[in-house]
Structure formats: C-alpha cells, structure tokens
Structure 1
Amino acid sequence: MTAAPMTDRTPAPAPARVRLRPTMRSDLDFVLSLENDGDNLPFITPWERTQHEAAIRFPDFRHFIIEGGSDFAAVGFLILVGCRSQHRSLELKRMVVQPKRQGCGRAALRLAKKIAFDDLGAHRLWLDVKSRNRGAKALYEGEGFAEEGVLREAVKVAGGFDSLIVLSMLRPEFEARRAAALELPA
C-alpha cells in the first residue's frame, strides 16, 4: 500500500512530542556525534566544535537541542541563523534528528517555525537541502515549504558534487497553515 502524498490540504500525521532547549557547551559532544554519524554525513556538511561554540554565543544564532520521547532525552539539534536580521529572513541552517522516522523531526520543525514567526518576528524562513536528501525535502514540502530554486552542483560530496534545493515559507503562508490547524497554535 502506498501512502497518498501530502498537500497543504492534507493534515500531516500527528508529530511526536518534543521540546527545544538552548544548546549548552556540554551538549557539543552529542551534537558532533550526530553530525559525524554515517547516516547523517551524506546529507550535511559538519561543523567544527568552534563553529558550534560560536553559534551558541552569537546573538544572531539560535542553537537548540531537540528533546523527545517519554523522558525527553536528547534526540537531535537544530540551528536558526539570521535571528537579528533587519530583513526578517531567517535560515534553518541545520536540523539533525536520530532516530529517524519517529516524528521528532516534524515536531521539531513545527516548533522551529513557531519560534521563527511568533517569537523572532520572521517574515521568511528558508533552508537548503541536498538534492540527494529526498526524505528531508519531502518533510519540508509536507510542512508547507515552497521550492524556490536549485543551486546546481553547489557542494562537493563523495563521488562528485550535489545540488542544493532552496525552500522557504513566508509569514502569510505560515498564518494560513495555522488557520487550517496545520501549525502549532499561537
């Protein structure tokens, strides 16, 4: 049996229960282990510890640990960039979740959208995803992000180059999804 594709009119399955908390320096071994995990490496470009340390301190960034499950154990992390941008255009720089396909990524993405639009006053939330990362692209599109374009062969990967697909969501789109009960309430 094949699942029907999700559209903006099809409610996504209920996401897992998660929460976000600010990343602390003591979390960085966990963050680096996720980035360097063999399941994640094909889809991200890992940072050095010093880059994560700077992101924790720099006010233009929000670096979060994703906690989930019945005991709210650490299951991932996400980073928002541009939090002080005069253009109110924030980037979801990175989101890594383990284990996969448990609903934690979807739930964390919904929290990130709520933080971006409600708390940080974003007009636009954007991201890029490697073209090989079909699962993540499907998640973002299912959560209302629209494809803006492709940066062809923009990143070097094992065996050659990969393209980056740029996706975004605008505040009116977020508000329309919230009115349709597809987003977390205000």
Structure 2
Amino acid sequence: MLRPATAQDLDLIKALWLAEERYIDPPEPLQIAEAAEAGLLFVWQLDDAVAGFAALKRWHPGVFSLAAVVSTKPGQGRALVRAVQAQVFTALGGHRLGLDTTYDNAKALHLFETTGFIREGVMRECWQRPDGEWADCIFMAILKRDWQP
C-alpha cells in the first residue's frame, strides 16, 4: 500500500535514501521534509511495516519527476512503481512522470521499461559518483495516455 509519508516516517526515509548512494543522489537539506509537506513523499507499506518509499518533484503543473524510489523487499519494485504512477495520474492529476537513471543501472532500466516508461534520451556525464566517476544518465518518462493501470 502506498500512503503519504508522515513526520514519523522522515528519519527512516532519510536512512533508506542515503543507503542507496550508488544510484540515487543524496537528498538535499530539507528535501525530504519539503516533499512531505507538499504531499509528494510516499511510504510503501506492507504488512504494517515500511518496505520502501518514493519521492516526487513537481516541475510544472501536471509534470512530475521521480526523485527517488526505494523498495526494501525483493520483488516489490514493480508494484511500488505502479502505485506511484497511479498516485501521479489519478490523485495528483499528472500528465507526465519522468525520471533518470545511470546507463549502467540495468535493474532500474528493466524495472522502468516494464512499467511503461520510454527512454527519451541520454544525458552525457550528468551524475558524479562518490568515487569521482562521471556517469551518463538515461532519461525516461511515461505519459498519462500511455499508462495502463
């Protein structure tokens, strides 16, 4: 079940977000609290336990990006992404949901493609890893008209 994050969830979300440093930018100061206040931070809850989260950014009315998505339970990534899509395209009235991931994150690329995202382009050397290496990113998006609940 996807639900809005509460103040009690913020420390756990921050810990999960920071644990994924290889492929996800660490949150900027106040980013987690601001996303929660804006109604753009969600908790993935299974059997009364937090099993992940998703953070969105609103770029323009109806245009969202997936800032971070983390599932702690194997096999739950697809269900979490589909729940986020449903949230964006129904409750938030979204038209477009975009994201980017590094070119070598095969697991994420597969997950997003199997949930309807389309590759739209490559951003060369768009992200610098903690070891200093620059990585190309693949930009992907799904439009409401292409989404299949």
TM-score by length of 1: 0.73
Counterpart AA for 1:81: K
1:95 offset after TM fit, Å? Answer: 0.3
1:96 maps to 2:70: yes
Q: Distance in 1 between matches of 2:75 and 2:16?
A: 17
Q: Distance in 2 between matches of 1:120 and 1:36?
A: 27
Share of identical aligned residues, percent?
32
Residue 79 of structure 1 aligns with which residue? 55
Counterpart AA for 2:40: R
* Structure 1 alignment gaps of length 5 or more: 1-18
1:34 offset after TM fit, Å? Answer: 1.1
What does 1:49-88 align with in structure 2 at a 5 Å threshold? 50-57=30-37, 59=38, 62-68=40-46, 71-82=47-58, 85-86=60-61, 88=62
Superimposed CA distance per residue, residues 73-117 of structure 1 (whole angstroms, 9 cap, x where no aligned partner): 10111012218x33x211111101113xx2221111111111111
TM-score by length of 2: 0.90
Give the root-mean-square deviation of aligned CA atoms: 1.7
1:156 offset after TM fit, Å? Answer: 0.9
Aligned residues of 1:66 and 1:108 also touching (Cα < 8 A)? yes
Residue 140 of structure 2 aligns with which residue? 167
Secondary structure in 2 aligned to 1:90? strand
Q: Distance in 2 between matches of 1:140 and 1:164?
A: 14
Q: Distance in 2 between matches of 1:50 and 1:153?
A: 26
Secondary structure in 2 aligned to 1:112? helix
Superimposed CA distance per residue, residues 105-156 of structure 1 (whole angstroms, 9 cap, x where no aligned partner): 1111111111111222222111111222110110000111100001111111
Aligned residues of 2:57 and 2:65 also touching (Cα < 8 A)? yes
Q: Distance in 2 between matches of 1:76 and 1:119?
A: 20
Secondary structure in 2 aligned to 1:138? helix
* Structure 2 alignment gaps of length 5 or more: none
Counterpart AA for 1:129: T
1:48 offset after TM fit, Å? Answer: 4.4
Count of residue correspondences: 148
Runs of 4+ in 1 over 4 A off after TM superposition: none
Counterpart AA for 2:145: P
Aligned residues of 1:22 and 1:64 also touching (Cα < 8 A)? yes
Q: Distance in 2 between matches of 1:90 and 1:48?
A: 18
Is the radius of gyration larger for structure 1 or structure 2? 1
Superimposed CA distance per residue, residues 33-82 of structure 1 (whole angstroms, 9 cap, x where no aligned partner): 21222xx211111114522112111x3x51011112xx231011101221
